[in-house]
Amino acid sequence: MTIVVKSLQMAKRYISACVSEGEQVVDATCGNGRDTLFLAELVGEKGKVFSFDIQAEALSKTRRLLEANNLLSRVHLIQSGHEHIQDYVHGKIAAVMFNLGYLPGGDHKIVTRPDTTVAALSKSLQLLRTGGIVTIVVYSGHKGGREEKDTLLNYCSRLNQDQFTVLHYTIINQINEPPSLLVLERLL
């Protein structure tokens, strides 16, 4: 029996414990749409998911997945970088999911970058309601991935402990740099 939970599965556990029906949430990197679908199921008919990606291919895949599950009406698909979250999302949000790196099955040269990811995280934290969380699955095995991880760890370690709790979940004995997870909870 394996008791170790992979980073993305753990992120979904945290999100599920935090989000209630009717709330607003964000998928900062929609990719193939699985996280957007997960969030759309959580928020229910009266909730809203704002799903970001810079690639038309990612948004198209996400749209098809949502249509196949009759959940497109709960989602606002946005072809823009996640660092522009404040241009699209207004009011408090319950949760934000980041799944960093590149689009699985897509062009591996198009990756999330430290500067835009930290900008998106900073803006997300401003929108986050008390008790809300941000999950960031960090893939560091690709070119630029280690720099992005180090930048995020540095940024998160400097957050005010009276306002945020930050957890870093990682498996330390596996080769090929397995993904790790950051979970940030707004306390105030």
113 in a structural domain: yes
For residues 188 and 182, what is the distance between their CA atoms, to the nearest angstrom?
A: 19
1 in a structural domain: no
State the residue range of the domain holding 96. Answer: 7-186
For residues 153 and 182, what is the distance between their CA atoms, to the nearest angstrom?
A: 8
CB 46 within 8 A of CB 102: no
SS3 content of the chain, % helix, strand, coil (to 5): 40, 25, 35
68 in a structural domain: yes
CB 27 within 8 A of CB 53: no
Q: What is the pTM of this model?
A: 0.94
What string of pLDDT tens digits covers the 188 residues of the chain?
A: 565 678 999 999 999 999 999 999 999 999 999 999 999 999 999 999 999 999 999 999 999 999 999 999 999 999 999 999 999 999 999 999 999 987 677 777 888 899 999 999 999 999 999 999 999 999 888 888 899 999 999 999 999 999 999 999 998 888 888 899 999 999 99
2 in a structural domain: no
The number of distinct structural domains making up the chain is: 1
**DSSP summary character for residue 111:** B
For residues 83 and 50, what is the distance between their CA atoms, to the nearest angstrom?
A: 13
Q: What CATH code is carried by the domain that includes residue 88?
A: 3.40.50.150
43 in a structural domain: yes
pLDDT computed for residue 13 by the predictor = 96
